[in-house]
Structure 1
Amino acid sequence: MLRITVIGAHAEGGDPVRGEKVFQYCYSCHSVQPDETNLQGPNLYGIVGRRIASQEGFSYSPALRAFAQQEERWTEDRLDRYLRAPYKLVPKTSMAFPGVEAQDERADLIAYLRSKDGAH
């Protein structure tokens, strides 16, 4: 039996294969392919560890730009909190997505995004 250890607000050891399925929530607005341009949302290739609101060529909402002044980078913990409830972490964000409630799905999604960082 697989046991997931919870550290902070996210589960360590998410499964990127399952996370690719969870990414189906995101794919209509976001890409994780390094050579694709931004869609309705910014390209998420290399998002884990990236400076917040820094994707070249994307026009971020004032709310996310203000959040980027307070928080430097998308850490796994910060992504977990944002993916759970975007409007709670960044009030007035323009991302029209209610969030991913299930902690294991968020861990899997973050593992998938982490696998799309150019180092794999």
Structure 2
Amino acid sequence: MNLSAAAKLNHVSFPTHDVAREAHFFEQYLGAKLEFVDPGSDSALLRHGNMDIVLEKMPIDVTWHKDFHIGLELETKQAVDALHHAFRQAGIALESEVFNRIGRGSRFFARTPGGIQIEINTREDREAKWDPSTK
């Protein structure tokens, strides 16, 4: 039996200095829904589709590797551009402008208030050679 074929991503857990601020960012910009906050541990649980996002209060700075990130996909380039604009207007730390990497679709990188790098992309404008349905 191939156990890896049965494994589904269940949750991700991120350390942060400010659980409430990080949770608000995930709700406001990324479509997550706050399920509960545990005041005893100062942690929060959000749902994003079928996946949980756990935010845990950390008293020390967390240093992320420069390439560590999570990726989120939007349906259209227009939606990617609109979110990039909203981030800029809100003062969210942008790591890049919107660009199309080797024809794989438009994307940009930004940082959550807690410093997690996120990639926002779309496959709407990818080149046909990157479309698995055409293989």
Output the TM-score relative to the length of structure 1. 0.25
Larger radius of gyration: 2
Greater fraction helix: 1
Output the TM-score relative to the length of structure 2. 0.23
Greater fraction strand: 2
